[in-house]
Amino acid sequence: MTLPEWMALAAALLITRWIMAALRRRYGRFFRHPTAGWATALLVFLSVLAVAAPLVAPFPYWLQIDIVRLKNHPPSWTYLLGTDLYSRDVWSRLIYGARISLAIGALGMLVALTVGTVVGAVAGYYRRWVDAVLMRGVDIGLALPRIFILLMAIALWERLPIGVLVLVIGLTSWFGTSRLVRAEVLSLRERDFVSAARAVGAGPARVIFAHVLPNAAAPIIVSAALGVGNVLLLEAGLSFLGIGLPPPQPSWGNMIADGQHTLLHAPWTTLFPGLAIALVVMALNSVADALRDALDPREEST
């Protein structure tokens, strides 16, 4: 494994640990939220479907079942969500598409979260010129018309590898997170336990990662849940403009994009992938909401 892969793995483990710890401590409060339980169940269900795609999908995603007779077939018992222009089963493609879309969403968010957290923490911890330089960079990042920058960054490659797509999306999505983390770190670094850690000789890295950041976990986790949804929507938008994975490979975004040409004759090819995106993003927003309530020690209820 290469260094970035190790770092991604370490970050994933760390974040999972935080979430687990937070859930264990507060799961009661988390599930008090009216829709959080359903949302979590939906996300788990879709993740299982995505992972087990070859087992649960009735047809392979590329299979043109019968291009003459089964083209644009409306939903039926055999073809649950109908078939598309090439007589491919929409339900199967949706399941395979979940793999790509959810993976891009989760990994893109992870990149954004890691970069945003590190930049925000460093800026907030060192303050002075480090803070000034980093935050002016963030100001520029927030003023970049993101969809144009993505289109341009993606134009750097002739054939776009999926890893690059994830990286590019992640690297243009961290600006908001870094502001959030910086604000949190700025207030935490003045606390007694941080001075205590410094007094016993802990280095900056240890103070930041072992003492400051764990206490800023709540807003970071909430923004992570929202981040997945945002990346998902962004990926869909890019696919819609024709930038994304090569043809037979389905993602929810490019399914919508392909469907628009047969919108009138086969609306189901457009309708269902969009609904899938909306449901996942909604579930993620619910989870973020519930996490915010559960992790916020300040207030009891809203």
Partner 1 sequence: MAWLVRRIAASIAIVFAVVTITFFLIRLAHGKPFIPGGDQAVDPAVIAVLEEQYGADKPSHIQYIAFLRQLTRGNLGQSFALQRPVADALAEAIPNTLILTGAALLLDFLLGLGLGVYQALRVNRLPDVVLGNTTLFIYSFPTFWLGLILLLVFGEWLHWFPIGGKTDPVLCPAVDSFRCTLDLMHHLVLPALTLGVVGAAGTARFQRAAMLEVARQDFIRTARAKGAPERRVVLRHQLRNALLTFITRFGLAFPFLLTGAVLTETIFAWPGMGRIATEAILRRDYPVVTAVALVASAMVVAGNLVADLLLAAADPRLRSASADVT
Contact residues for partner 1, defined by CB under 8 A:
34-35, 136, 139-140, 142-149, 151-153, 155-158, 229, 233, 236-237, 240-241, 253, 256, 259-260, 263-264, 267, 270-271, 273-274, 277-282, 285-286, 302
* Nearer to partner 1 (CB atom), residue 17 or residue 136: 136
* Nearer to partner 1 (CB atom), residue 52 or residue 241: 241
How far, CA to CA in Å, does 132 sit from each of 114, 120, 281?
20, 11, 34
Q: Is 268 exposed, middle or buried (0-12, 13-18, 19+ CB in 10 A)?
A: buried
Helices (H) and strands (E) in the chain, counts: 13, 0
* Nearer to partner 1 (CB atom), residue 250 or residue 253: 253
- Least distance CB 228 / partner 1 (angstroms): 12
- Least distance CB 151 / partner 1 (angstroms): 5
- Least distance CB 57 / partner 1 (angstroms): 22
- Least distance CB 204 / partner 1 (angstroms): 26
* Nearer to partner 1 (CB atom), residue 87 or residue 286: 286
**CA nearest to 98, candidates 46, 60, 62:** 46
How far, CA to CA in Å, does 77 sit from each of 96, 152, 170, 183?
19, 44, 40, 54
- Element (H or E) spanning 112, and its range? helix 90-126
Q: Is 5 exposed, middle or buried (0-12, 13-18, 19+ CB in 10 A)?
A: exposed
Sign of CA dihedral 257, 258, 263, 269: negative
- Least distance CB 76 / partner 1 (angstroms): 21
**CB hemisphere CA count around 92 (13 angstroms):** 20
* Nearer to partner 1 (CB atom), residue 64 or residue 285: 285
Q: How many CB atoms are closer than 10 A to CB 70? A: 18
List % helix, strand, coil for the chain (3-state, nearest 5). Answer: 70, 0, 25
Sign of CA dihedral 33, 290, 300, 15: positive
- Least distance CB 178 / partner 1 (angstroms): 16
- Least distance CB 119 / partner 1 (angstroms): 17
* Nearer to partner 1 (CB atom), residue 3 or residue 156: 156
- Least distance CB 296 / partner 1 (angstroms): 12
| Alpha carbons 187 and 148: distance in angstroms, whole number | 35
* Nearer to partner 1 (CB atom), residue 89 or residue 235: 235
* Nearer to partner 1 (CB atom), residue 27 or residue 157: 157
| Alpha carbons 102 and 277: distance in angstroms, whole number | 10
